[in-house]
Amino acid sequence: MKVLVPVKRVVDYNVKVRVKSDQTGVDIANVKMSMNPFDEIAIEEATRLKEKGVATELVAISCGPLACQETLRTAMAIGADRSILVQTEVELQPLAVAKLLKSIAEKELPDLIILGKQAIDDDANQTGQMLAALLSWPQATFASKVEVADGFATVTREVDGGLETIKIKLPAIITTDLRLNEPRYVTLPNIMKAKKKQLDIVTPESLGVDPTPRLATLKVTDPPARSAGIKVPDVAALIDKLKNEAKVV
């Protein structure tokens, strides 16, 4: 069984981003970049499927500039057998990424595509669902447990009311949630091995996809600062402020 795992290069989750002075976006110059945490969970889950003997080949995919090779090397150090970089300097939005992944999926013919439910930079939570629609494949989003056997995937997913377990027929799309697993620490020997693994570079044009953005960002601003809290002498004063100042009761 072949598994595709798309991974995205984003600003490291420990970094506090700053808005550019012209408010056109966030400043990522000289900022530490890393693999999107949800995608790291996805590549870990695919690696575990391979270790169980369920999956036979893992292919990591990333879309973006040449610097994304570093992210793909990390994916291969975790467990991917080879990787594909769709190289472009264009700002990629979810629909464009979904179209690129669809084109690769049609060439690679995987049985399963596992990806993070969202990226921590745009929080769009759209790519997996769009990809499932373009491929006309079943999907299971927000997965907290995955079991694959006999051509089906049984997925426990997190919903507002608790947990929901569904069974979908392969080929299928699965998007991962935080509680699915704990990604492993990447060891130095595996990092060295990853440098020798195959990394192919293609372009959106070779895949027949136009990645031109469909949405324009008008302005990016910092969230408003929270006002300081105050102490009230009694419950009556608290209720008065909630009614007349906060207007929440």
**pLDDT tens-place string over residues 101-154:** 999 999 999 999 999 999 998 889 999 999 999 999 999 999 999 999 999 999
pTM: predicted TM-score of the whole model, two decimal places = 0.85
Two structure tokens written together for 13: 């989750």
Assess if residue 91 is contained within a domain: yes
pLDDT higher than threshold 90 for residue 206: yes
**pLDDT tens-place string over residues 3-19:** 999 999 999 888 888 88
Assess if residue 77 is contained within a domain: yes
Assess if residue 247 is contained within a domain: no
**pLDDT tens-place string over residues 74-86:** 999 999 999 999 9
Q: What is the per-residue pLDDT for 7?
A: 96
Q: What is the per-residue pLDDT for 216?
A: 86
**pLDDT tens-place string over residues 140-196:** 999 999 999 999 999 999 888 889 999 999 999 999 999 899 999 999 999 999 999
Beta strand residue intervals within the chain, DSSP E:
2-6, 9-11, 18-19, 26-27, 33-35, 57-64, 82-87, 112-116, 139-149, 152-159, 162-169, 172-176, 199-202
Q: What is the per-residue pLDDT for 61?
A: 96
Provide the domain count of the chain: 1
Q: Specify the higher pLDDT residue, 172 or 26.
A: 172
Assess if residue 84 is contained within a domain: yes
Q: Any idea which of 134-148, 197-211, 222-236 has the lowest mean pLDDT?
A: 222-236
Q: Which domain holds residue 47?
A: 2-221
Confidence of residue 92 (pLDDT cuts 50, 70, 90): very high
Assess if residue 22 is contained within a domain: yes
Assess if residue 120 is contained within a domain: yes
Two structure tokens written together for 171: 């080929």
Assess if residue 206 is contained within a domain: yes
User: Tell me, what amino acid is at 11?
Assistant: V
Confidence of residue 94 (pLDDT cuts 50, 70, 90): very high
Confidence of residue 219 (pLDDT cuts 50, 70, 90): confident
DSSP letters spanning 212-226:
--S-------PPPPP
List the CATH number of the domain containing 136.
3.40.50.620
Q: What is the per-residue pLDDT for 25?
A: 81
Assess if residue 192 is contained within a domain: yes
Is residue 152 classed exposed, middle or buried when 0-12, 13-18 and 19+ CB atoms within 10 A define those classes? Answer: middle
pLDDT higher than threshold 90 for residue 246: no
